[in-house]
Amino acid sequence: MFLIKLIKTVKGFLLSAIILLCLFSTFIHAESETFAIVSDSHIGSNDSVYEEFIQAIDKQNIDVIIHCGDAIHTPGSSKQWKRFIDITGSNKTLHITPGNHDIQGNKSLNEFLRYFPELYYSHSDEDTLFIFLNSELPGEEGMITGKQLAWLKDELQKTFRYKFVFVHRPLFPIFGLHGLDKHKQQRDELHQLFAKQGVSLVVSGHDHLYNRRKMDGITYIIAAASGGQTRFLSDTRFYFRYIVGKRTQSGYYFTVKDMDGATGDEFKINNN
């Protein structure tokens, strides 16, 4: 009788320990996933602060970067691509959705493929699907169409709690006809697809100014630039921003920071 009670007690203790271990592991995992989002670094321009951005995220122990395009300034420049890769460093995980300064015709596309073998792709992390689109395919500039659209529809049918999309040209740009809105019907159909398939977040670049809006349950972000501003403005540093995303127990928490570390905006993505 004593032996039976002892066995039951041990079983109960082991079960409790396993449950606590699982909960602890989940907590550690949920609180430790951090990544940085940056856009329009324009390596090769005289005001790029991409190197300063790398230094800033190094101090925060962030080693995952999502780049929303226009990494370099001159399409097809192998020198600028090599510089971009060198600044990023071999200790970083880099995801990129190319911009119009990265790919502008077949020659620059081939140069891009030397460093990044996939023109569009997805990456999953447990309950989150990250989709990286290409708005610069030759002959399909400013659109998500053809084979890429068919692939996207298949990807979005996958079951994930969170679905995040990254594409250089914004669906709803700050400046009219400066993004995917050049082809309004296709843009609207893309937005409807995102809404139908439960996309929570869409992040773009291209406009060089930060913007956040919410439409049909989707948070649309335009990431500010980190270079290439002197073409538009004389005092450029004020406009340089990057975004830190962190996984929490309740979802994702995002902080928009300037190059001095000050917070410009904060928002959450929670899918209950």
Q: What tens digit of pLDDT does each residue of 9-22 get?
A: 434 444 444 333 34
Residue 114 has pLDDT above 80, yes or no: yes
Looking at residue 239, its pLDDT comes to 78
Tens digit of pLDDT for each residue in 29-72? Answer: 434 489 999 999 999 999 999 999 999 999 999 999 999 999 99
Residue 8 has pLDDT above 70, yes or no: no
Pull the structure tokens for residue 216: 């049909």
**Residue 82: half-sphere exposure toward Cβ, Cα within 13 Å:** 3
End-to-end Cα separation, the chain, in angstroms: 47
Measure the CA–CA gap between 115 and 92, rounded to whole angstroms.
14
Identify the three-state secondary structure at position 195: helix
Tens digit of pLDDT for each residue in 136-151? Answer: 999 999 999 999 999 9
Tens digit of pLDDT for each residue in 91-111? Answer: 999 999 999 999 999 999 999
CB 104 within 8 A of CB 76: yes
Looking at residue 230, its pLDDT comes to 66
